[in-house]
Structure 1
Amino acid sequence: MYRSIRFLLLVVFMAAGRLSLFAADVDITAYGAVGNGTTLNTDAIQKAIDACYKSGGGKVVIPTGVFLTGTIALNDNITLELKKGAVLLGSTDVNDYKNLDPFVDGLGISVGWALVVAVDKKNVGIEGEGLIDGQGSKLKAQQILTDTRPESQRWGRRPFLLRVVRCQNVSVTGVTLNYSAAWTSHYFQCKQVNIKNVKIVSRGVAHNDGMDIDGCQDVTINDCDVVSGDDALCFKTTSSKMACKDIVISGLRLKSGQGAIKIGTESMAPFENISISQCYIYDTTNGGIKLLSVDGARINNINISDITMVEVKTPILIRLGARLSVFRKDQDTQQAIGALENVTIRNIKAKAADNAQLMPPSGILITGIPDHPIKNLVLENIEINLAGGGTNENARQVVPEAIDKYPEVKTFGPLVPAYGVWARHVDGLKLKNVKFTLSHNDLRPAFICEDGKNIELNSWVIPETTSAQAIIRLENVARAHINNNTVSGSANAFVLVEGKASQDIHILKNKLSGISKKVELSADLKAGTAISDHD
């Protein structure tokens, strides 16, 4: 018995020693890497990764220095550690990059080349105080010397900075990701992803997305700082086979040349159970919060809260459409029209940019398509400062349906007829504690709803305007409650009701001053429409 116990202990100690040995750090310079910024180290770094993997995994260390490289591929149980002062510098020659998982993006371009990549791996990570620099502008300048295709086609050949594909247990912490030649970081169909204290500065060429979370599950992102030329934080589903769900995000600082927080545009599989909170968005030129299902996805159970925006063009865009693109044509087929429902956005403070995509600017655009309304959307505790400047003519602007078009704010231009909230094809829209302020008079309504059901406006604070036709306009709206709102200024009517389908409108306990009529009905409604007015 004693000898058996001694043998068992010896085996345990030997196993522990082997695990400790296998987890030893591997320095890339031991495999010939030179940190002088000019020697191409792709093979040396890959040899270090492969050796670490064969010995059981561990850390592959990038020491202080500038290490030029093309594509390097991580393996199971590998963490790439960038020491303080370490720079992993991307080659400016597109031929130094590989595409280990090709696909087509939302614009129809073949993409997928990358600098650092992991495909079908477990337990992979990147950490440390160093940085990865893709030299995007220099790579583009070098590429166009020999690639004579139009820019709209050739950009896809440029590499992403980081791609993590179908991996499990992924950690990216502490590092800085700079100047990608395309998307900065793309996580596709991964599970158990943790991203923390990452800084991204990626501008200078087109398509510089910051973080793309594509069909991933069980994701946390905390305390990151993103400055991106394109979308800063973007959720995608470029495949119909895996939903983007169970995601918690907080503490992000975002600056974007496009959208700061975006779900879609690529949107084949569902987006579900996503929570985003405590984010600061600034100097963003094409939308603060954008929720877009246009390729068949169901967007469901999304909660966005406690967001501050400063100098953001069009704070909120919510769109259900029917573009119905396919991005992996050898693996997928076109989906049916999706759904957008059960979304709550609350505690939003925004200073909208005076110069916006749509002029004069508007705060919130919400639109489904005929027979496919956006359902059960709640906007609560919303405060937006806007430039104003709309005219009576602007108040009657007809907005294109654009059913199968790319879902962008400018798609619905040149302007929308409400300065505050314009909503179309909605069912179950609730707007509570909404406050707008205007720098200039605006003759457009604060709220317009076209083709709506079960609409609630409660406890709005509507700024002083003069000479508007109406503060609120309802067109073909059934079952609306407009209660406890405070209106300053003057207008011909508080609520203008139009459209033969309008009925069951309740207007209760509103504080009005300077309003000629509480309710005005269009000529085709003056007989028989149920209107309840108890102010």
Structure 2
Amino acid sequence: MRDFGAIGDGKNLDHTAINEAIGSCSSAGGGRVVIPAGTYLCGSIRMKSNVDLHLTAGATILAAPSELKAYDESEVFGAPEYQDGGHTYFHNSLIWAEDQSNISITGHGRIDGSGLTKRDTEYEGEALGGSIGTGDKSIALKNCRNLTIRDITIYNGGHFAIITTGCIDGTIDNVTIDTNRDGIDIDCCKFFTISNTKVNSPNDDAIVLKSSYALKKPVTCEHILITNCIVSGYKLGTFLDGSFIPNMPGWGCGRIKLGTESNGGFRNITVTNCTFMWSCGLALEEVDGGVMENIIVSNISMNHIHHYPIYITTGCRNRGPEEETGVSTAKNIYISNVVADDVDSLSGIIITGMKDAPVRNVSLSDVHIRYRGGRDKGDGVYPELGKRYPEPSLLGPTPAYGLFARYVDGLTLRNVTFELASADGRPETIFENVTGCNIQ
């Protein structure tokens, strides 16, 4: 790497030298570009086909601050933006690739995204549209095939530590992330495995699957395996330094989630052998007109859970072109072998469909949840989601402390038990407009 002029002192910009090395390696047919020990201050690094960018132990790629203007200009999207800028623009990232194949980012080095922004758009308070105007993602890969991210550590990853959109055949393995927004977003992708990975994200989602309109059409996110992973919501940096200080409950903290962006839906998703700590629970959300089906979740351990343990919902937010947006549906969801302790009393398990499109065929088996309890009886009313953003903390307490189900066709409960740390005035379960209920 130093043959191309990289210095590694953390003061001089090194991304030009790294890009020259990557280009030379790819032009020669491919190989490994090695980043030796040192701190490499960088703007945009452009990955190319058949290249492994290898960060050795002791190597850090440090994101340049925005005032150095070291990031590539955002590409032109050229269509209405139904998703925020972080999902729309990729070139203004620390490490990015588009339309490449056989690429990997490996090694026991670190990516420090402290120079990236975590904002959605250029102006605070905007919900959608527009490029952020500077670097906002640590790793952004679009329309790539056969990609691998392995062994690296990412700190302070920006809006997304890792986002892949429209990619096929991907592996993320043994990665550690301690970040200020989303950890890993897999959007409109197929045939992906996320394994042996730890994501601490106190302010947003840890591992999330999406099917946004970023490819200018609905694309299903399908054939995804998430296994042997840990997600958490400790204060930023305390996961990496080992102090493990719990963060105060916040928005979407540290969870595994499907949605919210869900134009193309989700199919054939497996989540197994995962641990949740000081985080929100499992969220399965289909609200933008797609189909969520064939979802298997098993062998889950949860402790100190904010807001809810399990949330399954459909809605009609419908963030997409009206002429292409259908009715959100969810079916064939099987969840088993879940143990959750010290769960917030705000919400029990929530399973909610819509009046004319119930959630179909949901099974919960061998589930034990210990809630904090302590709430009064309430008024027994729970608002329908409708066009709202799907987040239990925005809807208020559920009228049942253990499980609330509404508009469900085919609900099986086997060996599902609830425990209270303190008395709660609400009933254990409430079923509204639930048909085909089988309780064992």
TM band (smaller chain):
0.7 to 0.9
List per-residue Cα deviations over 1:69-96 (Å, max 9, x = no partner): 1111111101100011010111111632
Q: Which amino acid in 2 is paired with 1:325?
A: R
Kept in 1, the 8 Å contact 2:157–2:183? The answer is no
Q: What is residue 477 of structure 1 aligned with on the other side? A: none
Q: Distance in 1 between matches of 2:98 and 2:374?
A: 52
Partners of 1:216 and 1:347 in 2: CA distance: 27
Q: Aligned pair 1:97/2:84, yes or no? A: no
Q: Which residue of the partner structure matches residue 435 of structure 2?
A: 453
Q: TM-score, normalised by structure 2?
A: 0.87
Pair 1:237-2:231 in alignment: no
Are residue 260 (structure 1) and residue 245 (structure 2) matched? Answer: no
Residue matched to 2:410: 428
**Unaligned 5+ residue runs, structure 1?**
1-27, 355-359, 459-535
Tell me whether 1:128 sits opposite 2:107 in the alignment. yes
CA distance in 2: counterparts of 1:267 and 1:343, whole angstroms: 16
Give the alignment's TM-score, normalised by structure 1. 0.72
Structure 1 stretches of 4+ moved >3 Å: 100-112, 151-158
The answer for the alignment partner of 1:45 in structure 2 is 18
CA 81–212 in structure 1, closer or farther in 2 if over 3 Å, else same: same
Q: In 2, distance between residues paired with 1:320 and 1:402?
A: 8
Which AA in structure 1 matches 2:326?
A
Partners of 1:385 and 1:46 lie apart in 2 by 52
**Are 2:181 and 1:196 equivalent residues in the alignment?**
no
Secondary structure of 1:444's partner?
Answer: coil
Whose helix fraction is larger, Structure 1's or Structure 2's? 1
Compared CA separation, residues 299 and 41, structure 1 to 2 (3 A): same
- CA–CA separation in structure 2 for the residues paired with 1:69 and 1:302: 40
**Contact 1:100–1:119 at 8 Å: present in 2 too?**
no
Residues 33 and 44 of structure 1 are in contact (CA less than 8 Å); yes or no, is this contact kept in structure 2?
yes
Map Cα deviations across residues 249-302 of structure 1 (whole Å, 9 max, x no partner): 211011145251100000011211111111011011xx3100000001111100
Ranges in structure 2 where 5+ consecutive residues have no aligned partner: 234-251
CA distance in 2, matches of 1:404, 1:246: 28
SS in 1 for 2:412: strand
Is the aligned partner of 1:219 residue 2:213? no
Q: Which residue of 1 aligns with 2:158?
A: 181
CA distance in 2, matches of 1:223, 1:214: 20
Match of 2:386 in 1: 403
2:182 equivalent in structure 1: 209
Name the counterpart of 1:280.
Answer: 275
Q: CA deviation at 1:450?
A: 0.8
> Structure 1 residues 177 and 333, CA, compared in 2 at 3 Å: closer, same or farther?
farther
Structure 1 residues 437 and 106, CA gap change in structure 2 (3 angstroms): farther
Larger Rg: 1
- Work out whether residues 75 and 89 of structure 2, in 8 Å CA contact, stay in contact via their aligned partners in 1: no
Paired residue type of 1:405: R
RMSD of aligned C-alpha atoms? Answer: 2.2
Alignment coverage as a number of residue pairs: 407
Asked whether the 8 Å contact 2:348–2:398 carries over to 1, the reply is no
Give me the whole-angstrom Cα distance separating, in 1, the residues matched to 2:187 and 2:117: 25
Task: Assess, with a 3 A threshold, how the Cα gap between structure 1 residues 107 and 169 changes in structure 2: closer, same or farther.
Answer: closer
Displacement of 1:402: 2.8
Q: Is this contact kept in 2: 1:259–1:289, CA < 8 A?
A: no
The aligned residue for residue 509 of structure 1 is none
| 3-state secondary structure, aligned to 1:114 | coil
The CA deviation at 1:320 is 0.5
From 20, 27, 32, the equivalent of 1:54 is 27
Matched, 1:167 2:144: yes
CA distance in 1, matches of 2:387, 2:198: 34
Give the C-alpha shift of residue 106 in structure 1.
4.6
The answer as to whether partners of 1:352 and 1:363 remain within 8 angstroms in 2 is no
Contact 1:97 1:159 in 2 (8 A): no
Q: 2:336 maps to what in 1? A: 346
Counterpart residue identity of residue 210, structure 1: G
In the other structure, the counterpart of 1:14 is none
**Does the CA contact (< 8 Å) of 1:259 and 1:290 recur in 2?**
no
Contact 1:361 1:386 in 2 (8 A): no
